Amino acid sequence: MLLKKTNRNAQVNNETGLGTNTALNGGRFFNKNGAPNIEVHGLPLWRRLNIYHSLLSMPRWKFLCAIILFFITVNLFFAAVYLWIGIDHLGGMVAASEGEKFGEAFFFSAQTFTTVGYGRINPIGFMASLTASLEALIGLMSFALVTGLLYGRFARPRAYIRYSKNALFVPFRDGVALMFRMVPYTKNYLLNVEVKVTLALKIEEGGQLKNKFFNVPLDIAKATTMTSNWTLVHMINEESPLFGFTRKDIADAEAELLVFVQGFDESFSNTVVSRTSYRYEDFVYGAKFVPMFHPNASNSTTILHLDKLDEYTLVDLPAYSA
């Protein structure tokens, strides 16, 4: 036995908004990156697709690929329109083959879309001029939207926090504690930081498995400022929802720690939120974290090693005794 008898009187958090029927959910509640582990069905894609939010939150390389793909697609479309109107309506063309004509039309479209307009090729006639005018308008609007998206991605408040890969069961204060740690990885330091942790367990009641959510008390849950790594400690005692659980009990209950962090970012002058979760397969029994910081040679400042966030050493985990 790792811990003592199960404490069924632990405070249950019934206001999480998460379902209690285990048959209605699969896998973890939150992914490691904090995103809800939910796949939405039942509405048409166009009604539930938030293009603006997707462009703001997608990875940088996907955002750049989306912009490039949009630029190429628009110019391919207008190049085809110019060819449909007639190549003789584009003055200054020097291309001979059909492929060269399409290439000239494509780059004329790109010059019109970006309002560069070198002048060698020019529209002739009403239809070509109207198409070029509409394309220039679309180009101006597109660049305004892209500029807004770039600013939104750059200025959007976010919590630059990284979490340890594992949560550890550690010998602590003549007992056992569950620990994980986090660290800010930029100079966006947080003020008035608060951490809340909820434990999700699958517990059998009345012959049925049900999801139960418990508040997890932390040794220190609030901090005035967060400039270095912070190890969050939950003591396994009579007040702990894990009190009395063995490793097998934890695995059978598919335990998951839901971590929510909130703080004020002085760079953004706004409140930022971060979250993650630890499933039972992320727990390590009998380990302690390797220190991440130490003073420099002159003892005048502190050196923080972000690459040691996940490092731990194995230790003996004594049985919890009365």
Instruction: Tell me the per-residue pLDDT of 254-298, one tens digit each, with 9 for 90 and over.
Output: 899 999 999 998 878 888 999 999 999 999 999 999 998 888 888
Task: Report the range of poorest mean pLDDT among 96-100, 106-110, 150-154, 179-183.
Answer: 96-100
Q: Which two tokens stand for residue 279?
A: 């499933």
* Tens-place pLDDT, residues 129-142: 999 999 999 999 99
Q: Name the phi and psi angles at 78, rounded to 5.
A: -70, -30
User: Residue 320 pLDDT > 50, yes or no?
Assistant: no
What is the model's pLDDT at position 24? 54
What is the model's pLDDT at position 20? 56
Radius of gyration (C-alpha) of the chain in whole angstroms:
29
Q: Residue 321: which pLDDT band, with cuts at 50, 70 and 90?
A: very low
Instruction: Residue 56: name the closest of 160, 186, 156 by CA.
Output: 156
What is the model's pLDDT at position 314? 92
What is the model's pLDDT at position 6? 44
What is the model's pLDDT at position 167? 94
What is d(CA 255, CA 98) in angstroms, rounded to the nearest whole number? Answer: 65
- The secondary structure of 232-284 as a DSSP string is EEEE-STTSTTTT--HHHHHHTT-EEEEEEEEEETTTTEEEEEEEEEEGGGEE
What is d(CA 122, CA 110) in angstroms, rounded to the nearest whole number? Answer: 13
* Tens-place pLDDT, residues 6-65: 444 454 554 444 555 554 566 777 777 777 777 777 777 666 677 888 888 888 899 999
Find tokens 């508040």 and name the residue: 215
What is the model's pLDDT at position 289? 93
Set out the domains of the chain in order of their start, with CATH numbers.
22-38+158-314 (2.60.40.1400), 45-155 (1.10.287.70)
Q: Report the alpha-carbon angle 215-15-208, nearest 5.
A: 85
Dihedral angle at the C-alpha atoms of 212, 218, 222, 227, nearest 10 degrees? -110
Q: Residue 5: which pLDDT band, with cuts at 50, 70 and 90?
A: very low
What is the model's pLDDT at position 74? 95
What is the model's pLDDT at position 209? 78
Q: Whole-prediction pTM value?
A: 0.72
The β-bridge relationship of strands 175-184 and 190-205 is: unpaired
Please state, as a whole number, how many other Cβ atoms lie within 10 Å of the Cβ of residue 192: 13
* Tens-place pLDDT, residues 227-237: 888 999 999 98
Q: Residue 244: which pLDDT band, with cuts at 50, 70 and 90?
A: confident
Q: What is the mean pLDDT of residues 71-95?
A: 88
Burial class (CB in 10 A: 0-12, 13-18, 19+), 9: exposed
For the chain, what is the mean pLDDT? 84
What is the model's pLDDT at position 1? 43
* Tens-place pLDDT, residues 204-241: 777 777 888 999 999 999 999 888 889 999 999 888 99
Q: What is the mean pLDDT of residues 65-73?
A: 94
- Report the percentage of the chain scoring pLDDT > 70: 88
